[in-house]
Amino acid sequence: MIANQYKEMLQAKSVIRELFQYATDRGKEIGYENVYDYSLGNPSVPVPQKFTDVMMELLATQEPVALHGYSPTLGIPQVREKIAASLAKRFGLPYTMDEIFMTSGAAGAIAHALRAVSVAGDEILTFAPFFPEYGPYVNLTGAVLRVVPPRVEDFQIHFEALEEMLNEKTAAVLINTPNNPSGVVYSEETIQRLAALLRARSAEYGHDIYLISDEPYREIVFDGAKAPCVSRYYENTIVCYSFSKSLSLPGERIGYVAVNPACKDAKTIVQMCGQISRGIGHNCPSSIIQLAVAEVLEETADLSVYEKNRNVLYEELLRLGFSCVKPDGTFYIFPKALEEDAKAFSEKAKKYDLMLVPGDSFGCAGYFRMSYCIAPEKVERSLEALRRFVEECYPNRNMEQR
Amino acid sequence: MIANQYKEMLQAKSVIRELFQYATDRGKEIGYENVYDYSLGNPSVPVPQKFTDVMMELLATQEPVALHGYSPTLGIPQVREKIAASLAKRFGLPYTMDEIFMTSGAAGAIAHALRAVSVAGDEILTFAPFFPEYGPYVNLTGAVLRVVPPRVEDFQIHFEALEEMLNEKTAAVLINTPNNPSGVVYSEETIQRLAALLRARSAEYGHDIYLISDEPYREIVFDGAKAPCVSRYYENTIVCYSFSKSLSLPGERIGYVAVNPACKDAKTIVQMCGQISRGIGHNCPSSIIQLAVAEVLEETADLSVYEKNRNVLYEELLRLGFSCVKPDGTFYIFPKALEEDAKAFSEKAKKYDLMLVPGDSFGCAGYFRMSYCIAPEKVERSLEALRRFVEECYPNRNMEQR
């Protein structure tokens, strides 16, 4: 009796993965360098050299039994301490190691956070456009994911819709800023208004509504700006962080849960994460990766490449007549397609070796995502294909909509 | 509304962890080298040098974006291929990468295997004495763990009890051979009889009963023997393996699920594991650890230390009047306590700086576990304390029971 729930999931195909597979196959025909693959969100710049140096030093100098030994359930204490100290310094909140739980990236962090604050039947609200994996992340806990429709003019929060959808069953609101796929950073005003609303509804319903803040792109913000620190605005915030994007370490599966020290149950929630681990077989990220990352907490890979790509693509898209919200960060851009059916649009683009992901699976039909974590040289080369695609397929497009 | 299920788990304290904490605190008073700490199952011998060399070489020569890039959901293909080839060669079963799913150690493997073959309300049977974490591993999936009482004369399977407990709700049987805490390896006869029984009951109930075989100690077998390969005897076997013990890498969280190629749903189960991961936030072990382990699949740490310790302790325990099944492998021994209440027995031993874990949490009251993954020199020094403890506290013990 194999479990049908998971077997049935095999039928649903990931649009992003399929497109990437197509790009890979096409690459075998014409050379992958000639495929303008904007499908996957894989960092394209190397980890800082210091990380590699620290890894080599740990391997060369540490006693192997200790180096590769079990991490305590919540993570290696000195690693949690260093993360807490770094967060305290950067964001001015009194984090201690007791608010930090080490995880296998943001996916692991969200898996723990969701289980800590919801039970089967509860509702989790998120906002379109959203990372499609939120579906299985939430639904397989037994809670229900409900998606607040997008505010397409700027991809901030559609508050009228949110106010209607919040109810007594709402256990948590899951946000992602800077956002995949829109690249938009929630403004201070958005976060303040969200915090006030959640506080009011928590009081009305007689239970805390948690804010789960998925922040893997926190460090990738452009124009010298910084993303507002969500925890500074709302006490019951659980940050889910990953080093995958900022340090270009997606395969090493390292991140953390950081519960706002102002949350009255902060320490309990971290302890509970340790218990949740026993049920989901998590048992900490790799010990050596924990130790190495702790030495490069204030570093990032060279993220300037993403800003350069954003500038080139955004300008060219506007020039070609696209309507598009300017990304504040990440390595994504989410323009409106040139016809209503973004799947058809994306299908046509494939003929020009352009891989554009239709927005439907992000909960936002009629838009498409480009992941520009690729070499700037390739972005430049792709512009000619983009121009030909648009001019040949949409000669009568409305140049006024932008 | 934090989730009470996990909050309540915080009340239950782990006897093993508490004893280890006591040992650590006591070590601060008298020096840890003078605490005869048989509490934890942490490997005490270093990983093979080749692993360290491979890690250094990967870091020195590989392009970082690729080296630390995302692993595909099921694991890195060439790693899965190498594991399949190694298993095929060693055990004579036609494994391919399609039967292998990479996991964060055995805990991650069991979390996936359980979810693949059971749903809420199903029963999972295991055998006392058993690793206490099986409780949360199973119960937090929504299935129910039922424990078959021990066959204390040799810690093989108590078949009469098993036959009574198997029923239509049985989704899987979870075994652990070589066994923590008894050190016993199931004989070929035991496995054959188990396989025949499960086949008969599968036919009777009209659904497959899976055998989940937790095998982290597979490589630690004494007297030149080998543990019988469970998959060779039962088609619906799901092996959960970890490199934690054989390579002394517990903190690096690396292992795999290997579904018997003879299982008709083998490939589907592996694909399902990828879907289960989305729900529990697993997303593969570390990429660099996967790549490094793949180069040392046929190696082990120097495991001879554990056999040496087994010999010394077993002989001394018998000499002192203990009744004890001789371990065939692992680094555990599970003698009968010298009074009915093993907790009281263990408490008295602490006065001699001997850390002995009472068997109650392994589902086997009246016994105690010693983890002898410690330096042989320390085992030798502990014998004097063991003698004094036994002679002073149990002068009238029955010397005939052995």
Using pLDDT thresholds of 50, 70 and 90, give the confidence band for residue A1: confident
ipTM associated with this complex: 0.96
Using pLDDT thresholds of 50, 70 and 90, give the confidence band for residue A16: confident
- Burial (0-12, 13-18, 19+ Cβ within 10 Å), B4: exposed
Tokens 């209440």 sit on residue: B341
At A346-387, the pLDDT tens digits run: 999 999 999 999 999 999 999 999 999 999 999 999 999 999
Using pLDDT thresholds of 50, 70 and 90, give the confidence band for residue A29: very high
Residue B209 zone, left/alpha/beta (φ > 0; ψ -120 to 50; rest): beta
* Rg for chain B, CA atoms, rounded: 22
Query: Contacts for B85-88 with beta carbons within 8 Å, 24 or more apart?
Result: B86/B297, B86/B298, B87/B258
**Total-model pTM:** 0.96
* Partner-chain contact B107 A249, CB within 8 Å: no
Taking the C-alpha atoms of residue B6 and residue A116, their distance in angstroms, rounded to an integer, is: 7
Question: B99: distance to nearest CA of chain A, Å?
Answer: 15
The predicted structure's pLDDT at residue A327? 98
Encoded tokens for A181: 């796929």
The predicted structure's pLDDT at residue B98? 98
Burial B190-205 (b: 16+ CB within 10 A, else e): bbebbbebbeebbeee
The predicted structure's pLDDT at residue A401? 53
Encoded tokens for A294: 């702790």
User: Does the pLDDT value for residue A17 go beyond 90?
Assistant: no
Task: For chain B, give the percent of residues with pLDDT over 70.
Answer: 99
Neighbours of A171 (CB within 10 A): 23
Q: How far is CA B296 from the centre of its chain?
A: 21
User: Does the pLDDT value for residue B218 go beyond 80?
Assistant: yes
User: Does the pLDDT value for residue B402 go beyond 60?
Assistant: no
Question: B109: distance to nearest CA of chain A, Å?
Answer: 8
Angle (nearest 5°) at CA B69 between A101 and B287: 65
Query: H-helix or E-strand containing B332?
Result: strand B332-333
At B81-127, the pLDDT tens digits run: 999 999 999 999 999 999 999 999 999 999 999 999 999 999 999 99
* Partner-chain contact A140 B288, CB within 8 Å: no
User: Does the pLDDT value for residue B271 go beyond 70?
Assistant: yes
Using pLDDT thresholds of 50, 70 and 90, give the confidence band for residue A3: very high
At A270-321, the pLDDT tens digits run: 999 999 999 999 889 999 999 999 999 999 999 999 999 999 999 999 999 9
Angle (nearest 5°) at CA B141 between B136 and B146: 60
| Helices vs. strands in chain B: H and E counts, helices first | 14, 12
Query: B213 and B240 in contact (C-beta within 8 Å)?
Result: yes
Residues of chain B in contact with residue A104, where contact means CB-CB under 8 angstroms, are 104, 281-283
Exposure on the CB side of residue A350, measured as CA atoms within 13 A: 19
Taking the C-alpha atoms of residue A198 and residue A351, their distance in angstroms, rounded to an integer, is: 47
Residues of chain B in contact with residue A255, where contact means CB-CB under 8 angstroms, are none
Average pLDDT, chain A: 96
**Chain A to chain B Cβ contacts (< 8 Å):** 232
Query: Using H for helix, E for strand and C for coil, what is the string for B279-303?
Result: HHCCCCCCHHHHHHHCCCCCCCCCC
- Mean pLDDT along residues A229-245: 98
Query: B86 and B109 in contact (C-beta within 8 Å)?
Result: no
Q: Find which of A131, A280, A331 to mutate to test the B interface (most B CBs within 10 Å of its CB).
A: A280
At B162-213, the pLDDT tens digits run: 999 999 999 999 999 999 999 999 999 999 999 999 999 999 999 999 999 9
At B355-370, the pLDDT tens digits run: 999 999 999 999 999 9
Residues whose CB is less than 8 angstroms from the CB of residue A391 and which lie 6 or more positions away in sequence, other chains included: none
